[in-house]
Each structure stands twice: as C-alpha cells, then as structure tokens.
C-alpha cells in the first residue's frame, strides 16, 4: 500500500507566487494526515485539485488560487484528532459521534493557526462545513457571510465524497453527483458557484482533463 502518493501530489499545479516553505508546510500537514488516515489524505488531494480547477475557471487571481489550494489541502487536517474507530465506522454514527467528527473544523483551524504562514487559512478551514442556508457548522453562517474560499471547498468536498464513496455509503457516478449538487444549490451550496462548477465539469474544455486527473488517483 502506498501511504503517500507523490504522483498525485506532483500533479497539483506548481506554486509560482509564494515561498516554497509555505507549500511545504501545507504538504507536511497533509502528509501527516496520510499516515493517519489514507482515505482522508486522498480526499484532500482531490479536493485541492477540484477547487483549484474551479478557481482558475472562474478567473480568480493567482494569489487567491494559491491560498485556496493550500486551504483545500489542509481543510480536513483536524481529523488527526478524531479517533479512527469513528472515522472508519461502517454504520451510522451516534449523535455523540457526529459531535466528535464536527470538532475537526475547530481542531483543523487551530492546527493551521499554529503554523507560521498558514494562519490566513484558518477561517477557510474553520468554515468549510457551513451551508448556504445557515444549517451547517460550526457557526451556522449563511450566504455570503461564509468565506468565499470555504464555499468553493464545500462544493469540491461534496463532489469528491459522493463520487469516491465512504465506508457507510457506496460511490456514485459523476452524473449522479452533479444532479445532487444541482439539487442542493441554494440550500447547501452557493447557487452561482454550483452553476460554474457544473459548467466546468460538463461543457468546459477542461472537463476531460479534470476527469483524466481524477482517474490517475
């Protein structure tokens, strides 16, 4: 079993604007996560790829794209603090276990806040499970009060989780995942970002390239 998939890591776009050590900090954190929980590690790489592709597609400035990529890489690093017995539980979680899992947002934001240079990722990591209608966690933020980069990650996060499957849920097709994103536009997700994301995944020139990269990992 390959614990740290370097080919996937190298497939990420090169960072041109920030010092290498910032990139190294983010990669070191996600590498630690890989040693702890392989599925979350792969999930993080794929969310970084998808988020970056969406950010580039909608024309975000290069600095913002870089910040987004680091944030996506480490968005679930708080799962280092969640017991494997919960992360890998095959059945439904109890309400108490759900509360424990939800702690990963706080834990992750604390972890990045302690890393020099990564402090700016904190709000994005903290709020990546907020929902457009205010029913998410940890703060119940809604609409544009949710940091924009956290909204991008939320979309990529859901798409990856649906198409990769989980111990408690079989994987679904990309087509089904797209329908699910459409269904949840305006409730779970920023509706205008859903439109952009679906256009990226279906009719853009990049769609095929994204799916090729997807299948590599």
Which stretches of the chain bind Fe ion, using CB under 5 A? 76
- Shortest distance (Å) from residue 75 CB to Fe ion: 6
* 39 vs 207, beta carbon nearer Fe ion: 39
C-alpha to C-alpha distance for 51 and 54, rounded to whole angstroms: 5
Q: Cβ-closest residue to Fe ion?
A: 76
Q: Of 31 and 207, which has the nearer Cβ to Fe ion?
A: 31
Sign of CA dihedral 161, 164, 54, 79: positive
Cis, peptide link before residue 7, omega less than 30° from 0: no
* Complex with Fe ion: residue 134 or 204, whichever CB lies closer: 134
Residue 156 CB, nearest approach to Fe ion (Å): 11
Q: How far is the CB of 129 from Fe ion (least distance, A)?
A: 6
Report in angstroms how near the CB of residue 21 gets to Fe ion at its nearest. 25
Residue partners of 7: CB distance under 8 A and separation at least 6: 216, 217
| Residue 23 or 157 with smaller CB distance to Fe ion | 157
Instruction: Name residues whose C-beta falls within 8 Å of residue 137's C-beta, 6 or more positions apart in sequence.
Output: 102, 105, 129, 130
The least CB distance from residue 104 to Fe ion, in Å, is 6
Find the Cα–Cα–Cα–Cα dihedral 145, 150, 156, 159, rounded to 10°. -50
Tell me the angle at which helices 148-164 and 191-202 cross, rounded to the nearest 10 degrees.
50
CB of 44 to Fe ion, least distance (A): 9
184 neighbors 177 (Cβ within 8 angstroms): no
- Measured from the CB atom, the residue of 20 and 110 that comes closer to Fe ion is 110
Gap between the Cα atoms of 12 and 9, Å rounded: 6
Between 43 and 53, CB nearer to Fe ion: 43
Angle between helices 38-57 and 62-74 (to 10 degrees): 160
């Amino acid at each position: 079993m390959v614990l740290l998939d370097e080919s996937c890591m190298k497939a990420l776009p090169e960072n041109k604007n920030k010092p290498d050590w910032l990139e190294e900090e983010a990669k070191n954190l996600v590498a630690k996560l890989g040693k702890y929980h392989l599925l979350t590690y792969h999930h993080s790489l794929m969310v970084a790829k998808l988020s970056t592709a969406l950010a580039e597609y909608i024309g975000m400035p290069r600095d913002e794209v870089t910040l987004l990529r680091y944030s996506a890489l480490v968005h679930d690093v708080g799962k280092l603090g969640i017991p494997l017995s919960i992360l890998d539980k095959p059945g439904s979680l109890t309400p108490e276990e759900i509360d424990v899992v939800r702690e990963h947002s706080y834990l992750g934001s604390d972890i990045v806040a302690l890393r020099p240079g990564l402090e700016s990722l904190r709000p994005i990591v903290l709020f990546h499970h907020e929902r457009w209608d205010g029913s998410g966690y940890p703060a119940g933020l809604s609409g544009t009060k949710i940091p924009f980069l956290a909204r991008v990650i939320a979309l990529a996060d859901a798409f990856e989780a649906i198409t990769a499957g989980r111990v408690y849920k079989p994987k679904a097709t990309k087509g089904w995942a797209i329908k699910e994103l459409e269904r949840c536009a305006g409730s779970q997700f920023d509706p205008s970002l859903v439109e952009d994301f679906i256009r990226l995944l279906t009719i853009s020139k990049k769609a095929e390239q994204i799916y090729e990269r997807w299948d590599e990992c």
